[in-house]
Chain A
Amino acid sequence: MADTMAHTETGTQDAARSGERVPTVIADDVDIVYRVNGTKGGRGSATAALSRILRPGAAAKASGVRTVHAVRKVSFTAYKGEAIGLIGTNGSGKSTLLKAVAGLLPVENGRIFTNGQPSLLGVNAALMNDLTGERNVHLGGLAMGMSRAQIKERYQQIVDFSGINEKGDFITLPMRTYSSGMAARLRFSIAAAKDHDVLLIDEALATGDRSFQRRSEARIRELRAEAGTVFLVSHNNKSIRDTCERVLWLERGELRMDGPTEEVLKEYEAFTKK
């Protein structure tokens, strides 16, 4: 950090050329609060819904709106070419934080700055279920802003990467006929076909088999080499060790540790063995 500061006057481009660390994601004291409707049990939820409409704000508590403080005062800076693992027990705020980085959740306090538009790959992100895998590859590519020629060029690569056709001609079947693992693999393959500045992966690899996980880990390293930043949420510590050199450990919404993979994982493994 200190030497980054010393050369600020050289500007962004020079910084990138001389191998300095260029930030891609900056989280500044981020708080994220969920508001959940209809948590008040017992009373008919229809009446609760009505009073929510009739008296917004004042009756928020009475009508069963609860707030969940999911992320508390988290700050970090991620740099170009970094792969950062996010670990923590279930419900510790990892997915919430990634959603906020992707701009899909508003932050309560603080700010998140990003370089370009990060892409989030979640477990549940369905593409177009009623269309064939082939159509999904084309439309997904077009939606990400690739040209038809680019897609044509990379099509075979995407299909091979996903491994969808390993057991027969499945790419021409509608996506709704895929198993959850197959669908997740195709989604990742489509999203990974583009060179992202910031790619956020939320357990999207967990459903794939071992050989697909190895392929995707290789692709993550490739994306890093192309000066992208990758965030990876995973409960598989081996996966984190294989791909990330830095780890953020979230617990109860707070950033408990931020440092080199081995150091943080050692502490985390000691913590989870308790």
Chain B
Amino acid sequence: MDFEEQKKYWQEAGPEEEQPWMDQHLRRVWTHPSLRHIRRQLIVETTAWILFLFLYYSALDGDLRPMGWNLALVIGLILLIVHGLMGYHLSSKPVSDAPLLLAMKERLKELTNYSWVSVLLQTGTLAILMGFLLSNVSGLWERPKLWLFGTIVVWLIIAFGVQVWIWRSRLGELRKSIEALEH
């Protein structure tokens, strides 16, 4: 096979006509498809967490529960909102114009760090929410029911495992490409 001929085909390939994205670039930030999707998700999630923060105290009898659990829940929810904003910032960050292998390694490191923050924070907040809901059950903490705590631990492990699996598959392609370039 003649690669010089293939080079010619490749170099000739291009858009047949001017693409709309060329002239629409001025609306780039607000029409950027991935960011638009993430922004919509961020707005929905943040609104839901803020509503929960305002309503949980009366809806879930916050006044009848220990102050420590109330405080932990509020901190957990605020951290979840911050985590959403961090994710948006990470997605909208410009890609590096460093050599590809280096840029990919840096990106993988950033995303791996963020994924651990995300997984631990979400599982931690779920654990706090469960603790909060059980905090005013009389006699539970003095005579713990093993089956109840066992069920909670199993649910937390499942939630943790599912999130780790989701992140692992998200980052799998990037990891594979780095390995392919390195070897």
Q: Do the two chains belong together in a single complex?
A: no
Q: Enumerate chain A interface residues (CB-CB to B < 8 A).
A: none
